[in-house]
Structure 1
Amino acid sequence: MSRYKEAGVDIEAANRLVESIKPLAASTHRRGVLAPLGGFAGLFALDTEKYHQPILVSSTDGVGTKIKVAIMANRHQTIGIDLVAMCVNDILVCGAEPLFFLDYLACGRLEQETALAIIEGIVQGCKAAGCALLGGETAEMPGMYQPGDYDLAGFVVGVVERDKIIDGSEISVGDRILGLASSGLHSNGFSLVRKLFFEELGLGPQDFVPEINASVAEELLRPTRIYAEPILHLLKGYNVRGIAHITGGGFYDNLSRILPQSTKAVIHKDSWEVPAIFRFIQEKGRVPQEEMYRTFNCGIGMVIVLPPEEIDDALLQLKALGEKAYVIGEVVQRKDDQPSVEIL
């Protein structure tokens, strides 16, 4: 007689993991959560007294091949933070407050210690974002994934008043562009990064790199910053006209998404401190400057467009919150034959 466990799927192990997760998920709960973890679906009651015309905002994402670095280093504690950040930061740009998050973990064989470390990171990320971990799924798929391999996906839902949606349409010539510092690579460009560090330079996860004053694993696995606190703070007191999350596509692709067609963003690359990791990649990988700004965040994880009369006060407020923030550019008139983003 054949059993499911003999085919590589351990239902009891999955059930034990769920029991371990329940108190972790409960620690993220906020007003609106109606049911504990473990049911077929998560339930959340929207506060209709707080919002007059609520618009739900959702985003889904993964962590990409950064997971391969976590597996190589056997360090999984921060990869869950990355997952939450990649989803939450994308709804913040619309002006949305994160409400709840769900995760999906797929693996060949469920390793309890690894899975728990990942989910602890997700919980940490949810707390930083102010959203509840409402549910998730763990899928054990032998034959689909090699032993030790796994993949992650996340899904977040937030809410914003209809008349407070941030979409860039109010951006105008003369506005200033403010940048919030990244924590490093975040979760983009890792196919290029892994090729450089592990294939071309022949480094291992534990090797110390003097130029970046860190081991490979320490630097590459720094978690993506979650910008919920500074963004939601700015939205309360300032006329935020546009926000861009600097992820895949870098400055060029992400800033152009929010700019009206008649405008252009001029970015001054010497206006902020570029972390050593980016200089190292550019030099050792012989990566052209334009490619750097198209692939990586280069030290700026979130961009906010504000009217010029508000920029100085906003900068002071962000610094009071402990944020590294810089005025990195301005919005100018764009001619038909010009690109929408220029880096000088």
Structure 2
Amino acid sequence: MNEHNSLSAWQISEAGFPRSGTPEQQLKFLLRYAILAPSTHNSQPWRFRITGAMLDLFADYERSLPIADPKDRELLISCGAALFNLRTAMNYFGCVGEARPFPDPRRPEIMARVTLDTLRSQDSGWPELFKAITRRCTNRGPFAPEAAPPGLDEAMREAAHVEGAWLATFESARSKETVGFLVAKGDRIQFDKPEFRRELASWLHSPRDNDGLPAYAKGAHELLGFTTPAVAFLVRTFDFGNGIAARDKELATGSPLLACLGTARDTPLEWLNAGQALQRVLLIATAHDFHASFLNQPIEVAQLRPALGALSGHKGYPQILLRIGRGAPAKHTPRRPLEEVLVNGASTA
């Protein structure tokens, strides 16, 4: 598949919503927004099954990251982000329904079940968030020193709270320096492990592919920004931890705002909720023309997570660390075609 087609998922016409179509047709259209959610290494670890007016969301464990994410915590967060996009699109197009997390205790692989009941007579609901779905783009480049506008941090905290999470922000130079130190330490610990480097290298893909991190996304960092096969070889073979740690610390301390999103507990349900909170926060930032990217190293490295939690001032568990600001325009990453994430029948195999 060429690069143009791998990015075509981001080009959705609202006029295409089948208002007079069947619930199945409507759900299939709404899923085009769900699959635009972010995921670690752009792994897109979700699958969906539509049965009439009902949709089930499954985690795709074949796309798990056993080294960076051994408990599948970030995988479920990604599924939660996709679920929030789906909910947002439902609200915007006037779909009345219900989204239930983990609806069947006998089927824990079903992350959520969404049902459509009816349509409101007019489009309504969450227009600011909806319009931001196709605009949102992870930006791994440096941000301008421009401060966040008044009220943005409070709006993001409220967005996290609505979805059952908390959000702590770091704006002072001292607090960002401390967080940046943890990020850099996490980089050095992770890149010291050959198995971590091999896993990362396996997700450095060509822009023609439908998943993974193309070189232009800076997923391999500018220090490694050559052709994708060369990047993958270098990542697998050499420990670039010190250089990447220095760059990530600079990105953290140079960002106008750092934000840690967390939850009261550390369970699959909380991870799914954290994903919904994350996507609501990201869409709020996007609606204010601010970018975000992830610095999750202090959470992925277990021994650093309590220190980040203490800095946040909240009880509970950090789940995601964001840097937020305005940078040069960034390019979307590819997405798998909708047909590839749809499954049929009673099994997700």
Task: Report the TM-score when normalising by structure 1.
Answer: 0.26
The structure whose Rg is larger is 1
Highest RCO, 1 vs 2 (Cα 8 Å, sep ≥ 6): 2
Task: Report the TM-score when normalising by structure 2.
Answer: 0.26
Bigger proportion of residues as helix = 2
Bigger proportion of residues as strand = 1
